[in-house]
Amino acid sequence: MAAAVTYEPIKTCKQSGARLGRVHTPHGVIETPAFMPVGTQATVKTMSPEELKTMDAHIILSNTYHLFLRPGHELVKAAGGLHKFMNWDRPILTDSGGFQVFSLSDIRKITEEGVQFKSHLNGDKLFLSPEKAMEIQNALGSDIMMAFDECPPYPAEYDYLKKSLERTSRWAERCLQSHARPEDQGLFAIVQGGMYEDLRRQSAQQLTSMDFPGYAIGGLSVGEPKHLMYEVLDYTTPLLPVNKPRYLMGVGSPDALIEGAIRGIDMFDCVLPTRIARNGTCMTSEGRLVVRNAKYAEDFGPLDPKCTCYTCQNYSRAYIRHLIKADETFGIRLTTYHNLHFLLQLMRDVRQAIMDDRLLDFRDAFFESYGLNDNERGF
């Protein structure tokens, strides 16, 4: 049986070692390295599917936890699956719900069986297990689904992390066994182990022995300093199979996307561009711009003079500032469109730089113009 999701290597950057490739899925091809906009509730906030296609999003991410609580996976299944429900015919990745259970809900109990928790919406008592996470994602019908993992807090003790990653490995095996649609949905496993090299190695070895079609690195971008995240990537990414996609979860600042690509990552997702857009924070070729600031009140230039997006071609900083200050939804649409376009364009530039064997030069020039050399935040 052919795998639902496969990786096609195209080129390795001679200067940096970054990979250019394609991930093949039942709903089309993802050019990698790729950034995936996040559509938490089966929508990328304020964006239409047509707009996402115009800005060249190859894949979007949706959240199992949120769709399980509302409207329910059975309803999405009855609608013909997530693609039909939200009118998106390109690839979709669904997370397993693990991260949200551990970060949003009032956890009652973590056992070998799964996690008992209370819904953050209405306080209902709920249970999520590897089997349940597979049932939900099989009903949603995403192209790429994620194994249910335990998401440890940061910082965490060594012994706790060791027990946690071992449970995550056992849960991954249960996910494989209960996955009902391997022929048209690819299941990725998630490497854990905190900031400890030997634990990351143990997690990667256990999971790669189970032969998943792709692998994610979890437990990063959770509050640790950037240099520590890069260090973990330096020793973790080489442990993953070269012939399968590698996905760094929850990373979306421009500097981390470039540094992740340099370290051999193929896929990234983050709510950052859409979340910061809602308070008027924009990513531009010259760095971060907070358009609600008073200094832009009479600035009739675009958010970013070098940007070709719909927002920058048609609207001024002064107008967008007015909309954001007036709590007008259109203002949020304009900043969201721009930020997503900016990151998707950045990934196109990264792919071209890999093709040209000059990704390190590209990074240095980008960091210089973005003003990143002394900014830990990176956006």
Catalytic sites, residue numbers: 95, 269
- If DSSP states are collapsed to H, E and C, what string results for the chain? CCCCCEEEEEEECCCCCCEEEEEEECCEEEEECEEECECCCCCCCCCCHHHHHHCCCCCEEECHHHHHHCCCHHHHHHCCCHHHHHCCCCCEEECCCHHHHHHCCEEEEECCCCEEEECCCCCCEEEECHHHHHHHHHHHCCCEEECCCCCCCCCCCHHHHHHHHHHHHHHHHHHHHHCCCCCCCEEEEEECCCCCHHHHHHHHHHHHCCCCCEEEECCCCCCCCHHHHHHHHHHHHHHCCCCCCEEECCCCCHHHHHHHHHCCCCEEECCHHHHHHCCCEEEECCEEEECCCHHHCCCCCCCCCCCCCHHHHHCCHHHHHHHHHCCCHHHHHHHHHHHHHHHHHHHHHHHHHHHCCCHHHHHHHHHHHHCCCCCCCCC
Q: Binding residue per annotation — 205?
A: no
Q: Binding residue per annotation — 219?
A: yes
Q: Binding residue per annotation — 307?
A: yes
Q: Binding residue per annotation — 312?
A: yes
Q: Binding residue per annotation — 285?
A: no
Q: Binding residue per annotation — 175?
A: no
Q: Binding residue per annotation — 356?
A: no
Q: Binding residue per annotation — 255?
A: no
Q: Binding residue per annotation — 98?
A: yes
Q: Binding residue per annotation — 260?
A: no
Q: Binding residue per annotation — 41?
A: no
Q: Which residues are annotated as a binding site for substrate?
A: 95-99, 149, 192, 219
Q: Which residues are annotated as a binding site?
A: 95-99, 149, 192, 219, 307, 309, 312, 338
Q: Which residues are annotated as a binding site for Zn(2+)?
A: 307, 309, 312, 338
